[in-house]
Amino acid sequence: MLAVQTPSEPLLLDASATSSEEAGLVRETLAGDGQAFERLVRMHSPRLFRFLYQLTRSREDAEDVAQQTFVKAYRHLHRFDPERPFIHWLLTIGRRTALNHFRAAKKSEPFTEEAPSSDPTPAENAEFRDQSENLWRRAQSILPRRDFEIMWLRFGEDLSIEDTARVAGLTRTYVKVIVFRARRALLKAIATP
Amino acid sequence: MKPSNPKNDDLENRLRFDAARIQPLPPEGMNERIVRATRHAETPAPQFRRLSGGFLAALGAIGAAAALAVVFSARHAGGPPSEPAPDADAQLVSVLQSVPALVWTSVQPKATALLEQDPLRADATALYSDARSAASFLAINFLPSSPPPSHSAPPGQG
């Protein structure tokens, strides 16, 4: 049996932003208010960065891709559907940008750990230690890249099956199949010492 | 309703819990760098709308020309040959012959404005070229080669 704890705080980092507020900020940005987009950046950059960090395993790459993602979002802001949460749109753009980033950089394996360039700080040490005990670390080592992405969107970002499918550009049935397969693989890996 | 598997529920809860523990701190100054980068980026929406307007104007002009050509050819095909209507035909001829000029005058101001912006230069050139080709095609295929002698100099040409 797995040791299960309940998360002490809600996962959604941007829970304070409602869709109507976001839509208002988007409208103001399109009307030429630069401050409005700055608010959107501050609101969503931590969560986007966390997602991209999971994909890239590199702070520099994650920041680079996050910047490209926001620039693309800004340029195509008129295409944003105000019925959807802004973060879902950002995750969709970010995921595609990350894939292109790796294609351009000709990195065949995006999950390779970056070599530490200098001695890690105590904060980084704590983060690495924490991550080594994390189930996601295990998931990364056993799941194919796309299955990991889907699992992260579904449980790490806590998206619904439908939203996961939309962000990943897959059908809902396919997402369900991937989740089922990945869950089985993870359970098997946990059961094996 | 399908019964949930306790093992799956446990796994999902643990995945959610562990994900909440992963909070990599964004690099210092990242938001400022992003904001700076977006300030240098152009929003293409207004340009896109201008291009759409020009495109729609050209389409409208071509559509009008096509409609006139269809009416003109239907009149010639359906009406008895011994019953000419020289005045009406002459008017149609003059309107149709002025279509390339109409297309040009409707597209030119927008196209000129668009040409000043480099990224749209190719689009505007292609648009104008397409409009001219379409108008010429219609004129060649649907206009009579020699209008009635009494109306040989239509006012649109003068």
A155-184: pLDDT as tens digits: 999 999 999 999 999 999 999 999 999 999
Whether B109 is in a domain gets the answer yes
* DSSP string covering A70-97: HHHHHHTGGG--TTS-HHHHHHHHHHHH
Q: Average of pLDDT values for A86-113?
A: 78
CB contact under 8 A, B14 and A66: no
Structure confidence at residue A117 (pLDDT): 44
Whether B128 is in a domain gets the answer yes
- Which residues in chain A are contacts of B45 at CB distance < 8 A? 30, 77-78
Whether B102 is in a domain gets the answer yes
Cβ neighbours of residue B107 under 8 Å, at least 6 residues apart? B54, B57, B58, B61, B127, B128, B131
* B74–chain A Cβ distance below 8 A for any pair: no
Instruction: Measure in Å the smallest separation between the Cα of B131 and chain A Cα atoms.
Output: 28
> Which residue in A152, A151, A154, A174 sits closest to A163, CA to CA?
A154
Q: Average of pLDDT values for A6-33?
A: 67
Query: How many whole angstroms separate alpha carbon B132 and alpha carbon B151?
Result: 25
Pick the residue with more confidence: A114 or B76? B76
Instruction: Measure in Å the smallest separation between the Cα of A190 and chain B Cα atoms.
Output: 10
* A127–chain B Cβ distance below 8 A for any pair: yes
Pick the residue with more confidence: A188 or A105? A188
Pick the residue with more confidence: B41 or A10? B41
pTM for the complete prediction?
0.57
Query: Looking at residue A31, what DSSP letter applies?
Result: T
Structure confidence at residue B72 (pLDDT): 65
Strands (E), A11-148: none
* A97–chain B Cβ distance below 8 A for any pair: no
Query: How many whole angstroms separate alpha carbon B46 and alpha carbon A100?
Result: 27
Under CATH, to which class is A125-193 assigned? mainly alpha
CB contact under 8 A, B11 and A2: yes
CB contact under 8 A, B22 and A136: yes
Query: How many whole angstroms separate alpha carbon B153 and alpha carbon B158?
Result: 7
Segments forming the whole domain that contains residue B128: 88-143
- What does the pLDDT profile of chain B (158 residues) look like in tens digits? 455 676 778 889 889 988 888 878 888 889 999 988 888 877 645 444 444 556 666 677 777 777 777 766 666 665 555 455 567 677 777 776 776 666 666 666 566 665 565 556 777 778 888 888 888 878 777 777 655 555 544 444 43
Provide ipTM, 2 decimals: 0.71
Backbone phi, psi, residue B153, to 5°? -120, 85
Task: Match domain A17-111 to its CATH number in 3.40.50.150, 2.60.40.420, 1.10.1740.10, 2.40.10.10.
Answer: 1.10.1740.10
Please name the amino acid found at residue B151.
Answer: H
Structure confidence at residue B3 (pLDDT): 57
Tell me how many residue pairs between chain A and chain B have CB atoms under 8 A apart: 123
For CATH 1.10.10.10, list the domain ranges present in chain A: 125-193
Domain count, chain B: 1
Residue A114 has pLDDT above 90, yes or no: no
Q: What angle do CA B30, A167, A8 make, to 5 degrees?
A: 65
- Which residues in chain B are contacts of A3 at CB distance < 8 A? 14
Residue A150 has pLDDT above 80, yes or no: yes
* A37–chain B Cβ distance below 8 A for any pair: yes
* B114-to-B11, B49, B111, B120 alpha-carbon distances in Å: 57, 11, 5, 6
- Which residue of B5, B9, B36, B38 to mutate against A (max A Cβ within 10 Å)? B38
Structure token pair of residue A192? 């094996």
B25 neighbors A62 (Cβ within 8 angstroms): no
Instruction: Measure in Å the smallest separation between the Cα of B29 and chain A Cα atoms.
Output: 10
For CATH 1.10.1740.10, list the domain ranges present in chain A: 17-111
